[in-house]
Homo-oligomer: A and B are copies of this chain.
């Protein structure tokens, strides 16, 4: 298990035991969901856009329309990418100590274009296979025109950190005697029943991968 030394930006500033820098933790938080938030700067102003992400080794990827402002303006520019899972509401005995259980990652870097049709196709395959194992080969091949209309950005996870809170509320010692309910309300994202497209041939069965629990 390798370790990324924290930079000035990624070092957890206040609650040091909540910060984690080992790669396995960072990878597992990134891989437990599929939507990140990417922040970037245009004309000195901050912007943040939620988008789907995926990871291959130490590279993180996100993509969209080649016409997207977010993708055009963050190519070769500094970005900050954040992933967070909300695991539970933490109800303490004082308003002050109410909290949230979460797993989050913050990563800084310069976003680079993935270039070349073969490279882009391989990345898109990884993205689809990650969410729907076995689906890629059941789809028609991606076209050159579609590849041209798709921008994929990537950055290495060289400056990244994870932050995790879990467990019960932590109250002031004298508050434990108060007569108020305290604990955690767990939150989970769950997949529902697949809804077939109205134009789908009813003979086509729901694929196996939609019955498996989703990451998240």
The chain A residues found within 8 Å of chain B, CB to CB, are 9, 13-14, 35, 37-41, 44-50, 52, 65, 67-69, 78-82, 84, 86, 88-89, 91, 93-96, 98, 100, 102, 104, 106, 108, 124-125, 128, 131-132, 135-136, 138-140, 142-143, 146, 149-150, 168-169, 171, 175-176, 178-201, 204-207, 210, 214, 216
Contact = CB atoms under 8 A, between A and B. Distances in A.
A105 to B, nearest CB: 10
Contacts of A35: 84, 86, 100
A13 B186 contact: no
B40 A37 contact: no
A120 B54 CA distance: 40
A196 B181 contact: yes
12 contacts: A13-B67, A35-B86, A39-B46, A49-B106, A88-B195, A89-B214, A94-B146, A96-B149, A179-B204, A182-B196, A184-B194, A184-B195
A175 B140 CA distance: 9
A115 to B, nearest CB: 18
B176 A199 contact: yes
